[in-house]
Amino acid sequence: MKYQTQRIAQVYFTVALALFAIQVIGGLLAGWIYVAPNTLSELLPFNIVRMLHTNSLVVWLILGFMGAAYFLIPEEAEREIHSPMLAYIQLAILVLGTLGVVVTYVFNLFEGNWLLGKEGREFLEQPLWVKVGIVVAALIFLYNVTMTVLKGRKTAITNVLLLGLWGLALLFLFAFYNPHNLGLDKMYWWYVVHLWVEGVWELIMASILAYLMLKLTGVDREVVEKWLYVIVATALFSGILGTGHHYYWIGTPGYWQWIGSIFSSLEVIPFFGMMAFAFVMVWKGRRDHPNKAALLWSLGCATLAFFGAGVWGFLHTLHGVNYYTHGTQITAAHGHLAFFGAYVCLNLAIFTYAFPILKNRDPYNQVLNMASFWLMAGGMTFMTFVLTFAGTVQTHLQRVMGEGYMDTQDQIEVFYLMRFGAGLAVVIGALLFIYAIFVPRREVIEPGPVERERIEHDPDHVAAE
């Protein structure tokens, strides 16, 4: 660790991992309710479990991004973080808000209260006071990291990262606007949800991936930057008007069917670009970095994001197809693999890379960590396939044959059972990951020949830089 303030990241990552555990366990519970619908139906109804699952997902991912920013900006900018104090205050606000959310949801408090009660839009259910807290925390965060970058060296990686983080915060402001007209409500809701994951978060993803590639493969910065710019340009070009793929059936004019189909099809390009980028960098890379697990997560991230977002997104993005598949289990299949591949793997990659450095030790427990990758990635992939089958059958029975919703659900039960099994593997993988990160054992992976040579000829060498 070259800069003291990078340590801030460790606290963020730790909170994020705790929420990650809660998130996947919540998912498993939701998956079990699908199998045995009366489970906890009084104490903790499905809609609340689902909210906890999705909200904790978004919160921990954002905490991870923020931690990643605190970790990599000092190195890129060659400056300590402007104010560590503010960083901790910011985290405290976010944790308080998260606890408030959990308590409000679980005990269903303040129903209908404009300030304290939950608001009913998926992913944005947080009570108003929590939303305000999020904005305050985001402002503190942006002030803190922007000041650091402005005072220090400006690189393509920090520029893109800041652009993504500013976009994330500004787009969140649409969460405050909730018109009565349901069509308009949905329109603005997607400004947050879609323009996050298929817009500004992609910038964050590309920049963190670029940073990891720079460190793990040792490819020249210039090469990395060229890729980064092309990825960012294609992401914004396609992603902004790609929002149209959510405006097919909500009462918006018919031309959205074409705008949405055309632009969102092009969204595959940046995800393909990121996958090509990661593999080309590893191919070209001269460095044989000892942190193999971080490299595995990075490559897994780029690959699964391409499949989850790119391929599974394209699968149902043309309006002729979406007419049938809209809101079926196909959507859930895509939502899971896309979020997992792009943003979960990305966070776990930077955690895997950063923790040994933050704790100032060699990358321990790599085999465990890599096993957790295969468990989670395998579980998620299997879940995606299962849900895709379920969705195909559902689409056929419900949308083509015209059977009732619940009649259809009865006929795809077996898939939900398998989804639960796949989810169990993911949860075990997640717990294994957390264990591998926090509990040091012994160095398992030997450095390769190039790295050994470096260690011999470079006494200042730190195993994981």
Query: What is the DSSP track for 395-409?
Result: IIIIIIS---HHHHH
- Residue 282 site contact among other proteins, ligand HEM, Fe ion, none (CB < 5 to 8 Å, cut-off depends on kind): none
Q: For 333, list phi and psi in degrees, rounded to 5.
A: -60, -50
With respect to ligand HEM, which residue has the nearer C-beta, 26 or 97? 26
Q: Which of 148, 298, 303, 322 binds ligand HEM (CB under 6 A)?
A: 322
Nearer to Fe ion, 37 or 327 (CB): 327
User: Taking the CB of residue 244, how many other CB atoms lie within 10 A of it?
Assistant: 23
Contacts of 203 (CB under 8 A, 6+ apart): 160, 161, 163, 164, 167, 232, 235, 236
Beta carbon nearer to other proteins, 25 or 321: 321
Q: Is position 399 an interface residue for ligand HEM (rule: CB under 6 A)?
A: no
Q: Does residue 316 bind ligand HEM (CB under 6 A)? A: yes
Any contact of residue 220 with ligand HEM (CB under 6 A)? no
Q: Cα separation of 21 and 33, whole Å?
A: 18
395 in contact with other proteins (CB under 8 A): no
* Inter-residue contact 9 to 347 (CB < 8 Å): no
Sole binder of Fe ion in the list 79, 82, 194, 316 (CB under 5 A): 194
Q: Which residues contact 254 (CB under 8 A, 6 or more apart)?
A: none
Which of 50, 287, 399, 454 contacts ligand HEM by CB under 6 A? Answer: 50
The answer to whether 222 contacts other proteins (rule: CB under 8 A) is no
Are 77 and 154 spatial neighbours (Cβ–Cβ below 8 Å)? yes
Nearest to 201 by CA among 247, 249, 267: 267
Please choose, out of 108-116, 143-151, 224-232, 326-334, the segment that lies near other proteins by the rule CB under 8 A: 224-232
Give the nearest distance from C-beta 304 to Fe ion in angstroms. 17
Q: Which two tokens stand for residue 66?
A: 């923020």
Shortest Å, Cβ 3 to ligand HEM: 30
The H or E element that residue 130 is part of is helix 128-151
Residue of 420, 429, 433, 437 interacting with ligand HEM (CB under 6 A): 420
Among 39, 178, 331, 411, binds ligand HEM (CB under 6 A): 331
Q: What is the DSSP string of 2-67?
A: -SGGGGHHHHHHHHHHHHHHHHHHHHHHHHHHHHSTTTTTTTS-HHHHHHHHHHHHHHHHHHHHHH
Judged by beta carbon, residue 250 or residue 463, the one nearer ligand HEM is 250
C-alpha to C-alpha distance for 292 and 386, rounded to whole angstroms? 30
Q: Does residue 245 touch ligand HEM according to CB under 6 A?
A: yes
Site for Fe ion in 238-267 (CB under 5 A): none
Sign of dihedral through CA atoms 195, 323, 51, 333? negative
Helices (H), 152-306: 156-172, 182-195, 201-217, 221-242, 255-266, 268-284, 292-305
- Which residue in 23, 159, 234, 329 binds other proteins (CB under 8 A)? 234
Our finding on whether 314 is near other proteins (CB under 8 A) is: no
The binder of 358, among Fe ion, ligand HEM, other proteins, none, by C-beta within 5 to 8 A per type, is none
The residue range among 136-144, 309-317, 433-441, 444-452 that interacts with ligand HEM, by the rule CB under 6 A, is 309-317
Among 40, 135, 163, 230, binds other proteins (CB under 8 A): 230
Least distance from Fe ion to the Cβ atom of residue 341, Å: 15
Task: Quote the tokens at residue 196.
Answer: 């996050």
Regarding 253 and contact with other proteins (CB under 8 A), the answer is yes
Select from 48-56, 72-80, 263-271, 329-337 the region that touches other proteins (CB under 8 A): 263-271
User: How is residue 448 written in tokens?
Assistant: 């390769």
> Can residue 252 be called a binding residue for other proteins (CB under 8 A)?
no
CA distances from residue 165 to 62, 75, 199 in whole angstroms, order as listed: 9, 18, 11
How many chain residues bind ligand HEM (CB under 6 A)? 43
**How many residues of this chain bind other proteins (CB under 8 A)?**
18
Task: Provide, rounded to whole angstroms, the least separation between the CB of residue 386 and ligand HEM.
Answer: 10
* Closest approach of other proteins to the CB of residue 230, in Å: 6
Count of residues of this chain found to bind Fe ion when the rule CB under 5 A is applied: 2
Q: Which two tokens stand for residue 145?
A: 């990291």
Residue 230 interface partner, choices other proteins, Fe ion, ligand HEM, none, CB cut-off 5-8 Å depending on type: other proteins
Taking the complex as a whole, the smallest distance from the CB of residue 351 to Fe ion amounts, in Å, to 26
Long-range pairs for 95-102 at CB < 8 Å and ≥24 separation? Answer: 95/15, 96/133, 97/126, 97/130, 97/133, 97/134, 97/137, 98/19, 98/56, 98/59, 100/127, 100/129, 100/130, 100/133, 101/55, 101/126, 101/127, 101/130, 102/52
Where residue 123 falls (left for φ over 0; alpha for ψ -120 to 50; beta otherwise) is left
Which residues would be at the binding site for other proteins (CB under 8 A)? Answer: 226, 229-230, 233-234, 237-238, 253-255, 258-259, 261-263, 265-266, 269
